[in-house]
Amino acid sequence: MLDLEGGNRLGAEVESEIDRGVSPPYSGPEKHYKSRSRIGRLPIVFLLPRSASKLFASTSASSAEEESQSQFDAGEQEEELKMSSQAASRDVGHQTDISRMQSEGDGTFKRKPSSFRNWIEKDGKFEPEKDRYHLYVSYACPWACRTLITRKLKGLEKIIPFTAVSPRMGEHGWPFANVDPFPAAGVDSINHAEHIKDLYLKADPNYSGRFTVPVLWDKKHQTIVNNESSEIIRIFNAAFNDLIEDKQKRKVDIYPEGLRKEIDELNEWVYDGINNGVYKSGFASTQAAYEKAVTQVFDSLDRVEKTFEAKKNKEFIIGDQLTEADVRLFVTIVRFDPVYVGHFKCNFRTIRNGYPNIHYWLRKLYWTNPAFSTTTNFDHIKTHYYWSHPHINPTRIVPVGPIPNIEPLHE
Ligand SMILES: N[C@@H](CCC(=O)N[C@@H](CS)C(=O)NCC(=O)O)C(=O)O
């Protein structure tokens, strides 16, 4: 029997999240594996009747959400009609289908900037309030997982609920569980959307960018506050402090005044060479563009390894405390051996065999801090990449290894 568990400890967190009404039960790795192959035989997109999707939604609705559910019912049909007519009014297939995404003329991948860039602040249009904002994420997405980690580090679980999409991003983009009931994916009980694109088109019917996660949604103004993870984590770090009950978590500051310059400098090359670097390697469409990108990835990893080597405290990339630089680096490194080595062809070496300091730092964060382990779902991560990019992996076969997905700490 293969050990498919690979250190995935998502279950406890997700089950406690169900009580607060955000995600359906996580059924454990073995069940997961079986249900994936069963669901894998269904058509890519199938729509449950509205009554069935309501049933599904009601199993995951918290009392606050139930209240908004009943308010919603009154205008539901009108709202649905509006959403579907907006979505149907123009063809957004070139924006939703990643396999139709064009690279630059020389085969390089260029990431488009995010469009919704509002801030949450007192006396502003978007004020800090409990149960006003909703976070939409994918467990697969490294950018979205930055926001999940920060939400947990700051103790925002009761203030900002979240919904996770199915990892299988198809021709209509990211689907919710009523369209693709993948384990640990949720139904959108706020907007009753079928795909993430519906939220964007509700916020702006003329939206012409990509339909990405994370999305921070405002229930009051019925719009997207922000869809840029680097900004959402700064909002989470500071904007809700007065509402956070846990005194320790309220004090957590992952962007401290004294380290900002160092954090910003590191973020810049880590983003270009590692976070976005792996995508430049994987999405390159010429040999030359790929080789340039993959070399930059490993030059940057070498630089991170040397940074740790020179430090006394090897548990954090900057100083003696956890900062957003750790959060931003972690989400890429934890995906590296399970996905980027194979799927994105970043295969000069693995983290576990080539980078002892990075490997120690990764395992230390994962095995000792639940904000990192409970937001890492290897099933979503591996399924997403290997399934969602048929232009890279036409068979959609998801590799079983590496075994385990993350190694034990062994200090
Ligand atoms: N700059 C954005 C990037 C987010 C992003 O690219 N998310 C990917 C998932 S990993 C996505 O949703 N892609 C969908 C698409 O491009 O169609 C951020 O950091 O928030």
The model's pLDDT over 7-28, given as tens digits with 9 standing for 90+, comes to: 333 333 333 333 233 433 333 3
pLDDT, average across residues 120-130: 97
Which of 196, 199, 213, when mutated, tests ligand 1's pocket best, judged by the most ligand atoms within 8 Å of its CB? 213
Q: What is the pLDDT of residue 7?
A: 37
Ligand 1 atom 2, closest CA: 228
Ligand 1 atom 19, closest CA: 229
Ligand 1 nearest atom to the CA of residue 98, by list position: 17
The C-alpha atoms of residue 378 and residue 373 are separated, in whole angstroms, by 10
Q: What is the pLDDT of residue 29?
A: 31
The C-alpha atoms of residue 69 and residue 189 are separated, in whole angstroms, by 7
Ligand 1 nearest atom to the CA of residue 196, by list position: 12
pTM: predicted TM-score of the whole model, two decimal places: 0.82
Residue 155 near residue 249 (C-beta atoms within 8 A): yes
Ligand 1 atom 11, closest CA: 212
Cα(first)–Cα(last) distance of the chain, in Å? 28
Q: What is the overall mean pLDDT for the chain?
A: 83
% of residues, the chain, pLDDT over 70? 78
Q: What is the pLDDT of residues 313-336, one digit of tens each?
A: 999 999 999 999 999 999 999 999
Q: What is the pLDDT of residues 254-281, one digit of tens each?
A: 999 999 999 999 999 999 999 999 999 9
CA of 309 to the centre of ligand 1 (A): 32
Q: Name which of 3-17, 174-188, 196-210, 306-320 the model is least confident about.
A: 3-17
CA of 106 to the centre of ligand 1 (A): 22
Contacts for 32 with CB less than 8 Å, ≥ 6 apart: 4, 26, 183, 379
Q: What is the pLDDT of residue 119?
A: 97
CA of 214 to the centre of ligand 1 (A): 7
The C-alpha atoms of residue 181 and residue 166 are separated, in whole angstroms, by 7
Q: Is the pLDDT of residue 347 over 60?
A: yes
Q: Is the pLDDT of residue 246 over 60?
A: yes
Strand partners, 7: none
Confidence at 83, pLDDT banded by 50, 70, 90 = low
Q: Is the pLDDT of residue 132 over 70?
A: yes
Q: What residues does ligand 1 touch, defined as CB less than 6 Å away?
A: 98, 114, 141, 143, 173, 210-214, 227-230
Q: What count of other Cβ atoms lies within 10 Å of the Cβ of residue 53? A: 21
CA of 143 to the centre of ligand 1 (A): 7
Q: Is the pLDDT of residue 200 over 90?
A: yes
Q: What is the pLDDT of residue 194?
A: 98
For the chain, what's the residue count? 411
